[in-house]
């Protein structure tokens, strides 16, 4: 599903203008981002939990030359689905 398909689907359910729906969807994702950045976690009961995962620095290999390279530590977002969501899949 693309962003525009998500907006269309929500707009069909809620009515109103597409512009207002697009603003609401953007506000939702901005709020999720801020929550994950601030608390390191966002949980929505029945859907799942988004958490910040730290990846340690590690050695990798350049596939073209075979040379060893150092890959820096990084942060990623992980998602764990709630049991309700898992059962629907």
* Residues 3-26: tens digit of each pLDDT: 999 999 999 999 889 999 999 999
Mean pLDDT (the chain, rounded)? 94
Stretch 78-89: mean pLDDT, rounded? 94
Residue 15, pLDDT score: 86
Record the pTM.
Answer: 0.74
Q: Which helix (H) or strand (E) holds 17?
A: none
Angle at which helices 18-39 and 3-14 cross, to 10°: 120
Quickly list DSSP for 52-85: EEEE--EEEE-TTT--EEEEPPEEEEEEEE-HHH
Residue 34, pLDDT score: 94
Q: Domain 40-89, CATH 4.10.520.10 — does that match?
A: yes
Q: Which residues pair with 61 in a beta bridge?
A: 68
Distance CA(89)–CA(25), nearest Å, equals 24
């Amino acid at each position: 599903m693309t962003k525009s398909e998500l907006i269309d689907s929500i707009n069909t359910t809620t009515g109103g203008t597409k512009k207002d729906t697009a603003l609401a969807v953007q506000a939702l994702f901005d709020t999720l981002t801020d929550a994950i950045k601030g608390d390191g976690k966002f949980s929505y009961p029945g859907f799942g939990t988004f958490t910040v995962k730290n990846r340690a620095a590690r050695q990798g290999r350049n596939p073209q030359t075979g040379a060893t390279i150092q890959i820096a530590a990084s942060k990623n977002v992980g998602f764990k689905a709630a049991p309700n969501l898992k059962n629907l899949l």
